[in-house]
Amino acid sequence: MPTHQEQIAKTNAAILNALVTVGKTKSLNQITVSDLTRLSGISRGTFYLHYLDKDDLVTKVKDSISSKFQLMLDTGIDGTMNYQDLSVGQPYPVIEDIVAFAAENKAMLSFLFGPNGDPAFATSITAMLQKSILGELKRVKGEATFIRDLPQEYALCIVTNAIMSVLLTWLSGDDLLSENELSKVIMRALYLSPYDLLGITAR
């Protein structure tokens, strides 16, 4: 017989799975508690033992993801400003951690970041990444500045998009790339110029 904590975890997992499943056909704003209880097979009373309402559920899910993402950045971004040769280098540990986290939570992240989810959530995650990059850049260089050839906000956008765009592309499809392969793609996106990616070389 499952313990009380195991039963709570099982019920919560059923609710989260229902949220993702319903989210394939309904937008976040359209999803109701009835949708979730009907699909998960639990009563409304049981749902309200866990959450105040649907918005409370979504807020707690996003808060949990944000907290874990921030922890990965806080503990893993050190060393990411060290240049390395892509031919011999390995993906930065923080990139591997982010990819592993995305893989573990792929269904939920695909929903939240997708067309039926919350566009503002992807923006907030990107902002967290940008803040961490600026903080590490300041620690390493003494100032959070990029090359002078580009306006600073655009340079920051290019760096973060190299990570987030690849990650979102992977989340949005049935990509068969392994976690290690995806980490390497992100590293190449960070290190290679657009002309490198296009296969254009100097003549």
Give one DSSP letter per residue of 121-174, joined into a string.
Answer: HHHHHHHHHHHHHHHHHHHHHSS----TTS-HHHHHHHHHHHHHHHHHHHHHTT
pLDDT surpassing 70 at residue 1: no
pLDDT surpassing 80 at residue 81: no
SS3 content of the chain, % helix, strand, coil (to 5): 70, 0, 30
Listed residue (85, 179, 69, 171) closest to 129, CA to CA? 69
The answer to whether the CB of 149 falls within 8 A of the CB of 122 is no
Between CA 80 and CA 95 the distance in angstroms is: 9
pLDDT surpassing 90 at residue 150: no
Mean pLDDT of the chain: 89
118: amino acid identity, one letter: D
Between CA 111 and CA 20 the distance in angstroms is: 6
pLDDT surpassing 70 at residue 75: yes
Using the 8-state DSSP alphabet, how is residue 30 labeled?
A: T
Lowest average pLDDT, out of 116-125, 162-171, 185-194, goes to 185-194
The mean pLDDT value for 38-53 works out to 95
Distance of CA 115 to the CA centre of its chain: 15
pLDDT at 35: 97
7: amino acid identity, one letter: Q
